[in-house]
Amino acid sequence: MNKRQFKDGVYSELAKITKSLANPHRLEIIELLAQGDCPVEQIAEQTHLSVANASQHLQVLKAAQLVDVDRKGNFIHYKLANENVFQTWKALRELGVERIAAVEKLVKDFRKSKFDFVSVTIDELVKKIDTGRVTLVDVRPESEYKKGHIADAISIPHDQLSQRLKELPKRTEIIAYCRGPFCVFADEAVALLRKAGYKASRLEEGFPDWKLQKLPVEVSVN
């Protein structure tokens, strides 16, 4: 093998990964799997895809070795191959917001048209937690909360929040978080909380970003 063949081979193999990521549904699936392993039916429901279509996308990601299969009895769950997969997705997300004006504009225009509040970063949240005057609310589906959540956060899924407002104290600031900056569960939660008279903000990032920084997490399922 000469030098040219070596380079062509390496770059061709790496291109398989970038090709597998070049689809909006597969990017969303990676973000979903960053919350924890999922069966194809749950992935299909959360991404508004048919089960057959979701399965096809998962097979592409699996062929690129970005996704693994985990058998649990008679059920098949999909999971990210390792932490590097989410790190790659996070880097792509941040590069897109930084370098692609259309991405930043979409995010800003969406929030400006629907929500009027300031987000907090992970570093800011850590400082708020140290004061002991903040209540963390995980507004993702309960199944995702059980697979992993920020330590001491309470689970109130976004579609249950309006019925469970009385469970939250008004003497502390409420910080809601969800899957990540492109997830709107936390935005909707904060809008509802503020309308009800709570002091509330959303975490700009999501649980996977928190976990990636090796900050305290808890698991509620075996």
Using DSSP bridges, classify how beta strands 134-138 and 154-155 pair: parallel, antiparallel or unpaired. parallel
Q: Give catalytic status of residue 38 as yes or no.
A: no
In the chain, the amino acid numbered 4 is R
Annotated active-site residue in 29, 66, 178, 186: 178
Rounded to whole angstroms, the Cα distance separating 112 from 74 reads 46
User: Token pair for residue 121?
Assistant: 């970063």
Residues 200-222 as b/e (b if ≥16 CB within 10 A, e otherwise) read bbbbbbbbbbbbbeeeeeeeeee
Residue of 162, 159, 211, 166 lying closest to 185 (CA atoms): 159
Q: Hey, which residues are catalytic here?
A: 178
